[in-house]
């Protein structure tokens, strides 16, 4: 049964340059005990979905049901079963890491002793033991982020919402967080996370919803999505651009789609359905054709590949400021 059920969510923000449609009829369903990733570029509406489901903003239209509760009817009941970590570290600068977490525990009504115990556990878990008793003011961005994430875990929530949880984390903390999320899921927590990285969605999510312009444009498991865009890509770099045409022919032979050629004519890549054998075939054919290579390999599809395939346009990373601008306007 779905523990999160959203249908027809619409949200428009006013801006000086006219209305901004953050969500235009978004549907989402997350089965209990699973991890759902919302994958999309900046400005696609990821943060808006999370804010609606966590009772922070109201949609213009549509319904959102969380654990059987309509978020508009009883926001407080929803808040008592969720943990949230937003896109920006929501911590009090003047409190220490420990005090921040203890405060969150008390506001979840865990009581003083349990709040302190829990705060210390999370400080240790996120490897902030040395800094835990210093005011957050002096923390690095990554450390603030970890305190904020710990805040979402103070009360083992039934549903955990994480908005771009690993943005700004070093690889080590990222792995640590993934570990924590996986263990929570093993214990039955449902997780909804947003991300710009297919790799992250791949690692964590049972199911991925790709969103663009405030709508879900594709949904499925990571394998299903990758199959849509041809799984792996074989990538080669030529020594001599003059071999381009011949190399392109070889790639086309084993590829699942049209090979892409870089602007200097020396880098080529193509989507393949079965990675390693395709790479072996390509290398063998190139060798017998006497084509010299600088480099060759396979790579996983990126968000850009997914987008190019699904929408015909690249995930617009230049739209970086968009989401921020929209949020500016939330009143």
Partner 1 sequence: MTTTVERPVLAPPNWNPLSLWFSDGWTTTKRNLIKIKRTPDMLVFAVIQPIMFVLLFSQVYAGAIAVQGTDYVQFLMAGIFAQTVVFGSTFSGSAMAQDLKDGIIDRFRSLPMSSSAVLVGRTNGDLVLNTISMIIMMATGFLVGWRVNSSMGEFFAGLALLLLFSYAFSWVMALLGMSVRSPEVINNASFIILFPITFISNAFVPIETLPEPLKTFAEYNPVSALVQAARELFGNEGSAPVPDVWTLQNPVATVLIGVVVLLVVFVPLCIRKFAQISSR
Contacts with partner 1, residue ranges (CB under 8 A): 51, 54-57, 76-77, 79-80, 82, 84, 86-95, 99, 103-104, 106-111, 114, 118, 121-122, 124-125, 127, 135, 148, 151, 153, 155-158, 176, 179-180, 183-184, 186-187, 324, 327-328, 330-331
Closest among 317, 322, 309 to 218, alpha carbons compared: 309
Containing H/E element for 271?
strand 267-271
Task: Kindly tell me which of 55 and 207 has the beta carbon lying closer to partner 1.
Answer: 55
Closest among 5, 323, 329, 2 to 164, alpha carbons compared: 323
Shortest separation between residue 38's beta carbon and partner 1, angstroms: 17
Task: Kindly tell me which of 258 and 321 has the beta carbon lying closer to partner 1.
Answer: 321
Which regions of 87-189 does DSSP assign to beta strands (E)? 159-163
Task: Kindly tell me which of 292 and 328 has the beta carbon lying closer to partner 1.
Answer: 328
Task: Kindly tell me which of 16 and 312 has the beta carbon lying closer to partner 1.
Answer: 16
The helices-and-strands tally (H runs, E runs) of the chain is 12, 14
> Tokens 């904020």 belong to which residue?
148
Closest among 162, 186, 206, 184 to 36, alpha carbons compared: 206
Shortest separation between residue 32's beta carbon and partner 1, angstroms: 14
User: Which value, to the nearest 10 degrees, does the dihedral of the CA atoms of residues 306, 309, 310, 311 take?
Assistant: 110
Task: Kindly tell me which of 173 and 222 has the beta carbon lying closer to partner 1.
Answer: 173
Please, what's the largest Cα pairwise distance for the chain? 74
* 82-85 and 2-13 beta bridge pairing: unpaired
Shortest separation between residue 65's beta carbon and partner 1, angstroms: 17
Shortest separation between residue 95's beta carbon and partner 1, angstroms: 6
DSSP-assigned letters across all residues of 65-95 = EETTEETTT-HHHHHTTEEEE-SS----TTS
Cα–Cα distances (Å) from 249 to 70, 232, 242, in that order, read 56, 18, 13
Task: Kindly tell me which of 155 and 254 has the beta carbon lying closer to partner 1.
Answer: 155
Shortest separation between residue 56's beta carbon and partner 1, angstroms: 5
CB atoms within 10 A of CB 31: 14
Task: Kindly tell me which of 185 and 270 has the beta carbon lying closer to partner 1.
Answer: 185
Shortest separation between residue 303's beta carbon and partner 1, angstroms: 23
Shortest separation between residue 158's beta carbon and partner 1, angstroms: 7
CB 18, CB 188: distance < 8 Å: no
């Amino acid at each position: 049964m779905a523990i999160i059920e959203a249908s027809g969510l619409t949200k428009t923000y006013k801006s000086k340059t006219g209305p901004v449609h953050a969500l235009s009829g978004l549907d989402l369903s997350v089965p209990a005990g699973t991890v759902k990733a919302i994958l999309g570029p900046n400005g696609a509406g990821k943060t808006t979905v999370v804010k609606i489901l966590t009772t922070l903003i109201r949609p213009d239209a549509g319904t959102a049901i969380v654990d059987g509760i309509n978020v508009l009817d009883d926001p407080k009941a929803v808040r008592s079963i969720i943990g949230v970590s937003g896109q920006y570290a929501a911590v009090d600068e003047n409190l220490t890491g420990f005090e921040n977490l203890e405060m969150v525990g008390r506001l979840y009504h865990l009581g003083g002793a349990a709040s302190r115990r829990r705060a210390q556990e999370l400080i240790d878990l996120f490897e902030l033991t040395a800094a835990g008793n210093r005011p957050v003011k002096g923390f690095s961005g990554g450390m603030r982020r970890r305190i904020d994430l710990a805040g979402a875990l103070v009360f083992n929530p039934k549903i955990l919402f994480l908005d771009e949880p690993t943005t700004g984390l070093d690889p080590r903390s990222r792995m640590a967080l993934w570990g924590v999320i996986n263990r929570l899921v093993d214990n039955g927590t449902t997780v909804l996370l947003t991300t710009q990285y297919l790799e992250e969605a791949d690692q964590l999510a049972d199911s991925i919803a790709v969103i663009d312009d405030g709508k879900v444009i594709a949904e499925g498991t990571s394998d299903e999505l990758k199959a849509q865009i041809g799984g792996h890509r074989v990538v080669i770099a030529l020594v001599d651009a003059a071999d381009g045409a011949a190399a392109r022919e070889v790639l086309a032979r084993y590829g699942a789609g049209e090979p892409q050629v870089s602007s200097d004519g020396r880098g080529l890549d193509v989507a393949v359905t079965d990675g390693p054998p395709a790479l072996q075939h390509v290398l063998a054919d190139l060798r017998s054709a006497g084509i010299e290579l600088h480099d060759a390999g396979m790579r996983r599809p990126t968000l850009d590949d997914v987008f190019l395939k699904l929408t015909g346009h690249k995930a617009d990373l230049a739209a970086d400021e968009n989401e921020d601008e929209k949020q500016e306007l939330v009143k």
